[in-house]
Each structure stands twice: as structure tokens, then as C-alpha cells.
Amino acid sequence: GFGAPGIPFVLGSQDPGVLNDLRDNGYLSTSQSLTMPFQQARLENLGVRANIEPFQDFRIQLDFKKTTTANYQKIITQDSSSVRTGSYSVTYFTLPTAFSDGNSDVSTIFQRFEQNREVIMQRLMTANPNYDGEIRRYNLNSQDVLIPAFMAAYAGQDVNQVKLNPFPKIPLPNWRVDYNGLPKLFGSLGETFQQFALSHAYTSTYSVNNFTSSIQYGITGVGLDQNITNYPFASIPEDSVLVPQYVIQQVTITERFAPLIGINIRTKGRLSGRISYDTERSLALNLSNAQVTELTSKGVTVNFGFTKSKFTLPFRVKGETITLKNDLTFNFAMSLKDTKTIQRKIDEENTVTNGNLNFQFRPTVDYRVNERLNVQLYFARTVNDPRVTNSYKRTTTEFGTQVRFNLAQ
């Protein structure tokens, strides 16, 4: 009937009390031999996008995102076996430190993270009513100390004002900016270019990759009806050690400018091109060892191409000058990308664990003989120079001709 398990359940209710209703009405077995847990899953996606055009040809796109996944399980014959796991991510803002130093030897941001721990610990001991002052119930590498210290350092926030919650409630804006009005603004550009566009994009995301409710903390407040952003203070079990409600293994901040600056052009002479400079920074705080893994990437990409009609070959065939009847297309692609991974440890030396300098160069020439036949000449060279001593420099060169014949009608 409609009461098994009920209209609220059918409509998506995540009230953990439905378990008691199912058990009390005899829909679930209460045998002590039952080991299969009652399970619930929940996914929440919040996305807000705003498109702004303050004046013609100038467009701004703002994005706010938040994603929460959660899984709850409980063996119905045991009152102490409730477990909630999940992940959490939200758009963030780390621009104040985006261009700060990040060399392999010294990082002022990481040093700030180390110093922030003492301030955060003092704030927690003052704010947490479970702290009685007799025993130092936090240490500098406690989970609830490390995460706010990390967020304050790499987001460029005041350590005395940063929230102590490892689950930020409000998503902050990411954006993309495009401007295509230069040919109209400058008449000389309009005489040469059909398009001269500038672009810029910024994304930053803070993520809790995995969290699990602590059995020591207790089974209350871990149901899916409880908002994960309402993060309580650590409690005191029998051994007088403060325990957080959720155990977190790792938090990450991923920041990307794609591109930091990009230029797209197309001339009236059938020349097109794109130049972009991209940067990326990925920061992972491992709570088990209080280390920060920092991956940085910077790259320049250049693409140019033009189409030439009635192209005259620069050499003679049987003494005659040959002029091609169809269009000849030339494309040039080049990229240079520098990546580096640094393991930063508290009170220890920083170590470069991975990275390389990658260079790619690929020009091609395409000629369409007719509707079915296409001929391409290509050359490609890739150079990969590692930053670590356990890898070797690699160079790859390719060149040749490709002939494509289309059998389709």
C-alpha cells in the first residue's frame, strides 16, 4: 500500500527515521544474523551562472558551484553502527596568492601555513566549549587546526578571520571574460582583421575528497538530513582527546587560468591564429602527515594557419612552373609547457618529486586535390626534459605524407 514505505520516501525524503518505520512495520528483518546494512545515498548539485554584457562585445560570465555527495549506512540491529561518508566541493577564491613565489626551496605561503597553525589552535581552544583548559586537547597537526590554517594561507585570508569550518558554505565566483571589440575601437585594426578577440578565464575549487563520520565522536548528527556545512566542534570521548565529527583524509585547492590571457585573430587575408598563456596550481593537504603536495603548470600555446589560392610551387616540374588549382592550407602549432610537483613538509626540506619541460612543434601542409582526395605533409617534434634525476630526456621526431581517399558518395 501507500504506507510501504510511504509517500515522503517516494518523493525523495532522506529522513533517517524511515529506517525505524520500516523496521517497526516488519518490512525489514531484525534478525541478529543480518549483516547487510540499510543504505541511503544523496547527491546535491548547486549551479548558478550569470552572463553580463556591460557594453557591446564585452562579455563576463560568472559561475558559482557546489557539489555534495553523501552515503549513509547502518546495520539495523546495532545502534552504534551508523556511518556517513562522502565528498564536498565548492568554487573558491585563491587569486590573492595565485602569483606568489612557489620555488622548490622556499615558499612564503607554506611558511605562512606553518605559522597559522598556532593562531588557529588558540582560536579553537577559546571557541570550543568542550575544551576545559587542563589538558591541551589540540595540537599543531590536528585536523581542525591544519585545514583552516591551510585555507587562510593559500586563499590569502586573515588567519584571525578565516572560518574554522572545513566545509565552506557559500560558493565564491569563478569567471570568464571575452572582448571582441578592438577592430571597432581602433579603425586601423578593422581594416586588417575580421576578428581580434581577447579572453581570460579563472576557476578555483576547494574540495574535501573524502570524509567519514568518526565512530568515537558518536552516532548522532550523521544522517543525510543533517547539513554537512553545520560542522560542530570536536568532542571529548573517554580518553579526553578531542575528536572531530568527520575524519578527513585530504583537502585540495585547484586553481586554473585557462587562459590567463588569450588572443584569437582572423584577418581578411585568410590568416587565423591563436595565442594563449595558461597556468594551473593544484594544492593537496594530506592530513595523515601534514604535508602539502603542490603541482604547478605554466604553458604557452601558439597556433597559426592560412589558406592560399592558386599557390605556385617554388620549384619547376619538367621545366614548367606549376600553379595549384585548389586551396593550399598551412597550419603551424607549437606549445611549451613547464610542470613541477613539490612535496612541502613542515620543518623539513622541500622536495621536487616530479615535473618536466615539454616542447612540441608541428607544422602541416594540406592540399585538397578534389572532393575525394586529400594530401598532407607533416612534421612533428617533441622534446621532454624531466626535472628529476630518475628520468631521462626524450626527443621524438616524426615526418611523412598522409594520403586520404574518401569512398563515401
From 20-24, 334-338, 399-403, the region with the lowest mean pLDDT: 20-24
Report the interhelical angle of 108-127 vs 143-155 (nearest 10°).
130
pTM comes to: 0.87
For residue 293, what pLDDT is reported?
Answer: 95
Q: Biggest alpha carbon distance in the chain?
A: 100
For residue 233, what pLDDT is reported?
Answer: 87
Q: Which helix (H) or strand (E) holds 128?
A: none
Query: Tens digits of per-residue pLDDT, 257-301?
Result: 999 999 999 888 888 999 999 999 999 999 999 999 999 999 999
Give the CB-side neighbour count of residue 295, counting CA atoms within 13 A: 13
Task: Give the confidence band of 74 by pLDDT, cuts at 50, 70, 90.
Answer: confident
Residues 6+ apart with CB under 8 A from 348: none
For residue 28, what pLDDT is reported?
Answer: 79
For residue 104, what pLDDT is reported?
Answer: 63
Residue closest to 344 by CA, chosen among 283, 298, 388: 283
Q: Whats the size of the chain, residue-wise? A: 409
**pLDDT at 238 > cutoff 80:** no
* Inter-CA distances, 325 with 308, 312, 377, Å: 10, 9, 18
For residue 371, what pLDDT is reported?
Answer: 78
For residue 407, what pLDDT is reported?
Answer: 82
**pLDDT at 136 > cutoff 60:** no
Query: Helices marked H in 157-283 — which ranges?
Result: 182-185, 187-192
**pLDDT at 345 > cutoff 80:** yes
SS (H, E, C) 305-343: EEEECCCEEEEEECCEEEECCCCEEEEEEEEEEEEEEEE
Query: How open is the CA angle 342-173-45, to the nearest 5 degrees?
Result: 90
Residue closest to 158 by CA, chosen among 199, 116, 204: 116
Chain mean position to CA 347:
28
Where b means 16+ CB within 10 Å and e means fewer, 143-173 reads bbbbbbbbbbbbbebebeebebbbbbeebbb
Chain mean position to CA 157:
20
Query: How open is the CA angle 327-333-339, to the nearest 5 degrees?
Result: 165
More confident residue, 24 or 78: 24
